[in-house]
Structure 1
Amino acid sequence: MNTPFLDTWINRTMGIPHSSTAGLEAFKSRQLAALNRTITHAREHSRFYKQSLSGIKDVPLRALKDMAALPFTRPADIQENPKGFLALSQGEISRIVTLNTSGTTAAPKRIFFTDEDLGRVVDFFTAVLTTIMNPGETGLIFLPGDTRASAGDLIRTAMQAAQARPKVPGIIRDFGPAADLVRSTRPSLLIGMPVQILALCEYMKLTGTLSDIAHVILTADYVPAPLVDRVEDLLGATVLNHYGMTEIGFGGAIQCPAREGLHLRHPDLFFEIIDPAGPPLPAGQWGEVVITTLNRKGMPLIRYRTGDVSRILDAPCACGSPFPRLDRIRNRQRLNADTANRQNLTMADLDDLLFSLPGVVDFTACIQNKIDSEQGIPTLDIEIMGLEPLTQRIQIDPGPSPGLTMALETGRLRMGRITVRAFDFRNTYVTKRQIQFNSHGLT
C-alpha cells in the first residue's frame, strides 16, 4: 500500500495534520475532547447516565486514563431499559434495531440511531472500501440489505460513495445462484459471514466455478484462522477480518492487507482493554474489550462491556500507520454466559479446532447436562457437517484448543458423541452459531 491504512480518513475526520509523533499527541488530545463531549451529552440528556454518572466529580477528564473512574455499561442495562439511554427525543431517531438474545428469555436490546450516527458508519466503511477497491469494480455483499440502514444497506451506500458497484444479494439461501452471481459479475470483493463464505467457496470448487477474487471481508461472527486459510487457498484472495457489533454502530475495526491487527474506528470509538475484575490493562495484555462511543447523538454508550477478548497493539503497523490497533478477537466471553463459568468453553475454541479439519464446513455443539451422566459431568456432543470424503467416525484431538483441553483435563466436561453428516448446500446456515446447553433431569 502507498499510504497507511485509514490514516488519511482518521487525520481528516479528527483534524490531525499528520501521523508523526506530534500527530499522535494531537490524536490523544482529540479523543480526550470527544470523550468529554460524550460524557457531558450523556449526563445531561440520557436518564441512564444522569443516574450512573451522578457521583462522578472529576469531569471533564484530564487524561485518557481517567476513564477508569467511570462505571461500566453492561448489555443487561440496555435490555432492562433501552429508552433510558436515549439522549435525544425519539422523534429525532431514524432507525431502531432490535437484538434478540439467542437461547435466553432476556428482553431484547433496542439500539437507537440518528441519521448523523448512521452517516458516520457509512463514512467509516467508505474509507475502508476506498483503500481496497478501484472505481468501477464490483463488490458482492452477502449480508441483510433489504431494510433501510441494515448492515448490507449501509455498506452498499459506502461502496457507492467509493465509486464502486455494489450488489446486495443478502444472506445466502441457495449456494447455486450465489455461485452464478459470482461467476457473472466477477467481483473484486466478497463480504459475508465466515461459514457462509467458506461454504460458497467449497460449492464453487465442487462445481468448477471458482474465481480469482482480490479481497474478502469476513464479518458478523468469530473468524477462525483455519477458516481464513482455507478461503484464501480456494480463492487466492486476501481475507480481512472485520470486528463490529450493532450496539457500537456496526463498524468497529478491520484488518488492512498487512494483517497486523485490526485498525480501529478511532474518530467514533474509544477502546479500552480491562481485566474482567475491572482495572484497565496496558497495551499488549489480553483482556475484555470495552468501548465508548464518540460523537454518537442518539444513544451514547460509555464503557460498554462487549464480552469479547483481545489486546491493544501500539507498535506501528507494517502498512505504516502509527495508531493503536486491536489484535484478533481471541474468543467471545458472552457465548459461554449460560454455563455460569462451569466449562469456560466458547464456540471460538471449537471453531479454531474443527475448521482446521479438511472438509468441515460447519458444525453444531451441544453440552448435555444429565443428572444420570457419568459422575454428573456435562457431556459435549458435536455434529460435523462436511464434504466427502469425511468418514462417519472422526477422532478429535483437543490439544490445539486450550479451552477444550482445560475443560476436559479439569473434569468440568467430557467428550460425548461425534457424528458426521453431509453438508446440505440447500440449507441456509444463518442461525446464530453458539454452543447449545441442554439440561435433563436437573432440579
Structure 2
Amino acid sequence: MKPEKTKLENWICETEKIAVLTRPVLEDLQLSRLNSLLSSPAFRRGYYSNLPNRIESLSELSSLPFTTQEELSENSRRMAICSQADIKRIISDVTSGTTGPSKRVFYTETDIMHTIGFFAAGISEMCSNGDKVLIAMPQSGPSGLFELISAAVLRLGATPVACGVGKSFGEMADIMRSNRPDAFIGMPVPLFSLIRFMGSDFSVKRALISADSCPQSVETALVRALGTKLFPHYGSRETGLGGAVTCSAHSGMHIRENHIIAEIIAPDGFALPDGSQGELVITTIGLSAMPLIRYRTGDFCCIMPDACACGGVTKRLGAVFRDTNDEVSISSLDDALFSILQLVDYSIKKTDSGYEIFALHLGSENIAEEIRAAVLALYPNISFSVSSDLCLPERKPLYLGKRHIIS
C-alpha cells in the first residue's frame, strides 16, 4: 500500500495559500521570497548589505558568500532585521568552549507560530486526537522547545506529558507507568536507555527522535521494541528549531522548503549533486527575525536523489551526523557499545593518557570486559580505561544534551 503523502506539504499549502504544490511552484516561491528578502530595506541596512538585491534563478544562490558559525556569533544583532520590540524569543549558545562570543538567534511571534505549525505537521505523522505524547525536551519557559512542542501536540487534540530532561531513570519510569503515553518525542539514546532500564513495562509505540544523531544499533533496538519505524526530525536554532521531518514512507526527512533552501557542499565549498554526502548549508528565507544566507551548519548529510514513495515533492535530507575529525568517534562507539545487551548508558572522557569510559548496566558482571573488547576492535592503538556501576533508579542519563566526548 502506498504511504500517505507527507503532511508537511498540507501545512505548506495551507500556510502559503497554494492549491497544488509542485516543484516549479515551490521553487518559484523560494526565489520570490529570497528576492523579497534581498531587496528589503531592513535586510540591506544590516549585516548582508553588500549582497546583490536580486538574483535571477536559484542556481545563482551558489554565487553568494557563506555565513559561518563564527560570523553568526560575532554579528548576531546585525543579522536581525526586525525591531527589538518584535523579538519574542532569544536562544543563546556559546559555540567555542567557555570562551568566545555567544551565538544568539532571534525569533518573532510569526517565527514561533510557524514553528508550532511545522511541529504539528510532523508530529501528526505519528499521533492524532486522543493520544498521549511524552515530551523529553528541555522546559525553558515561554516559547521554549518543550512549550512549542506541547502547543503543537495540543493543536492535534493530543495530550502532552511532561518529562523534560535531567530526571532519573526511576522518575522517568514512574512518569511512563502512570501516564501510559502512546508516543515519545526526544533524543534517541535516552529513549533507548529508558526502555532498556524498564524492560517490557512501557507503553510507547511510536517515536519522533530529534536533537541528536541515532546510532544504527540504537535504531535497530528501538524499532524492535516499539514495533514501528522511527520518525527522525532535523532542526536547529538557525532553522527556527524545525527543519525537516520524516513521513510515513520513512525514507528521509522532508525539508521545510517554504522557509528553507538547502544545499550540500564539498569541503572546498562547491555544491554537490543530490545523493552526495557533504555539509548542509541553509538559507532561511522564511524567518522574519533573523534570516540567514548560506549558513554553514557543520552538519553532514545528503539530499535524497530519488522521489519519495509518499508522492511528495519536497526535497528530503538523509541521516544527519557531525564530522568532528576526532581520533575517536562517539558515533562509532555508540553503534558498537549499545549492541551490548546489558548496557543502559555510558559516557566517555578524554584524559592525558587516553580515554575513560563509565558505564551504567543492568547487572552484568562482565560488562567492563565486553566494553574493552568492543573498543579494542575499533581502536587497537588507543588506551581506554573502563569503569561501571549498576543502573539504580536514582541514576540519571549520563548526557543531558547531545552525546560528545567530554574534554
Normalised by the length of structure 1, the TM-score is 0.83
CA contact (8 A) 1:46 1:86 kept: no
TM-superposed deviation, 1:49 = 1.5
What residue is the counterpart of 2:135 in the other structure?
141
- Aligned counterparts, 1:10-159, within 5 A: 10-19=12-21, 23-41=22-40, 44-45=43-44, 47-50=46-49, 54=50, 56-57=51-52, 59-101=53-95, 103-159=97-153
What residue is the counterpart of 2:349 in the other structure?
366
TM-superposed deviation, 1:199 = 2.0
RMSD of aligned C-alpha atoms? 2.4
- The verdict on how the C-alpha distance between 1:230 and 1:145 changes in structure 2, with shifts beyond 3 A counting, is same
CA contact (8 A) 2:7 2:121 kept: no
Q: Does 1:332 align with 2:322?
A: yes
- Letter of the 2:19 partner, please give it: P
- Letter of the 1:159 partner, please give it: V
TM-superposed deviation, 1:12 = 3.1
CA contact (8 A) 1:38 1:293 kept: no
What residue is the counterpart of 1:214 in the other structure?
205
- The verdict on how the C-alpha distance between 1:210 and 1:280 changes in structure 2, with shifts beyond 3 A counting, is same
TM-superposed deviation, 1:43 = 6.8
Runs of 5+ consecutive residues of structure 1 not aligned to the other structure:
371-378, 438-443
Partners of 1:268 and 1:95 in 2: how far apart? Answer: 18
Q: Does 1:310 align with 2:301?
A: yes
Partners of 1:269 and 1:6 in 2: how far apart? Answer: 13
What residue is the counterpart of 1:386 in the other structure?
361
- The verdict on how the C-alpha distance between 1:42 and 1:277 changes in structure 2, with shifts beyond 3 A counting, is farther
1:269-312 per-position Cα deviation (integer Å, ceiling 9, x unaligned): 11110012201111011000111112211111111111111000
What residue is the counterpart of 2:340 in the other structure?
357
Partners of 1:144 and 1:132 in 2: how far apart? Answer: 21
Partners of 2:374 and 2:174 in 1: how far apart? Answer: 38
What residue is the counterpart of 2:189 in the other structure?
195
Partners of 2:290 and 2:313 in 1: how far apart? Answer: 30
Match of 1:106, SS state, is strand
Match of 2:100, SS state, is coil
1:384-442 per-position Cα deviation (integer Å, ceiling 9, x unaligned): 33322251322344699xxx66xx7xxxx6243233333354233343421133xxxxx
Partners of 1:302 and 1:167 in 2: how far apart? Answer: 37
What residue is the counterpart of 2:311 in the other structure?
320
Partners of 2:356 and 2:168 in 1: how far apart? Answer: 28
- The verdict on how the C-alpha distance between 1:231 and 1:390 changes in structure 2, with shifts beyond 3 A counting, is farther
Match of 2:99, SS state, is coil
Partners of 1:399 and 1:322 in 2: how far apart? Answer: 45
Partners of 2:60 and 2:389 in 1: how far apart? Answer: 53
Which stretch shows the higher mean deviation, 171-180 or 266-275?
A: 171-180
- The verdict on how the C-alpha distance between 1:386 and 1:64 changes in structure 2, with shifts beyond 3 A counting, is farther
Match of 1:238, SS state, is coil
What residue is the counterpart of 2:8 in the other structure?
6
Larger relative CO (CA 8 A, sep 6+): 1 or 2? 2
Match of 2:184, SS state, is strand
CA contact (8 A) 1:93 1:114 kept: yes
Match of 1:147, SS state, is coil
Aligned mate of 1:422, from 383, 390, 395: 390
Which stretch shows the higher mean deviation, 218-227 or 94-103?
A: 94-103
Kindly tell me the number of residue pairs found equivalent between the two proteins.
401
What residue is the counterpart of 1:236 in the other structure?
227
Runs of 5+ consecutive residues of structure 2 not aligned to the other structure:
none
Partners of 1:38 and 1:26 in 2: how far apart? Answer: 18
What residue is the counterpart of 1:300 in the other structure?
291
What residue is the counterpart of 2:406 in the other structure?
436
